[in-house]
Amino acid sequence: MARRRNDEGVRKLMLPGRLTRDGLLGTDARPLEEIIASDEAELGRLGRSRAAVAGRMRELRELGSRALGDSVAAGRREVCSESARGSLCCPFGDSGDIPKAWVIVRDVPTGEELIFTELNIHMIERHGFFEGRGAAFRLEPEKLVRLLEVPAEKEPRSSGGARKPRGRGRGNKSR
């Protein structure tokens, strides 16, 4: 995987006390590109895309936010969305402020729970970053896909590369 522009600067912003109290890397000493590549490979194995995961996270966030701090049922899940004053910036340098908001999703029958933030949604969708191992808000792709019931892609994805274009037959041009 090609090295990102200024990975060292991004990594410094992810350390404890910079953007967040506990940081975004946890105990993970791997280079950023390795963390991201590993999670991207796991998503590919699961047949899911970053866009599908982020879309489902947004869907549940919206559902939870309509309940104004109370839990709301989403199938066998309970969802609650909360927020605090202020905002965060993206450590990868994207412009704009990201609200300090989080969503709690609990599988009622099992009691299994996960918490994700608005920043998690952004970093997963835009950068493929689920946070480092040991980070307070690290989201394991398998658990995220399973608990949020992220729908499978129509065609399984490989961990890298683009899909083959589909032809429309000889002589038919795609628009």
Number of H helices, E strands in the chain: 5, 4
What pLDDT, on the 0 to 100 scale, is given for residue 167? 43
Distance CA 94, CA 61 (A): 21
- 120 alpha carbon, distance to own chain's centre: 5
At 155, which amino acid appears?
E
Helix (H) or strand (E) holding 83: strand 77-89
Q: Helix-strand-coil percent breakdown of the chain, rounded to 5?
A: 30, 20, 50
What pLDDT, on the 0 to 100 scale, is given for residue 70? 87
Q: What is the pLDDT of residues 75-99, one digit of tens each?
A: 999 999 999 999 999 999 998 899 9
Distance CA 64, CA 49 (A): 23
Distance CA 75, CA 151 (A): 14
What pLDDT, on the 0 to 100 scale, is given for residue 134? 96
Closest CA to 112 of 81, 76, 151, 86: 76
Contact indicator for 115, 104 with CB cutoff of 8 Å: yes
Query: For the CA atoms of 124, 127, 82, 97, what is the dihedral angle to 10 degrees?
Result: -160
Domain spans of the chain? 9-148
Contact indicator for 122, 98 with CB cutoff of 8 Å: yes
What pLDDT, on the 0 to 100 scale, is given for residue 5? 54
Distance CA 71, CA 68 (A): 8
Kindly list the averaged pLDDT for each block of 10 residues, start to end, along the chain of length 175: 66 93 95 96 97 96 89 93 93 92 96 96 97 96 96 64 42 40
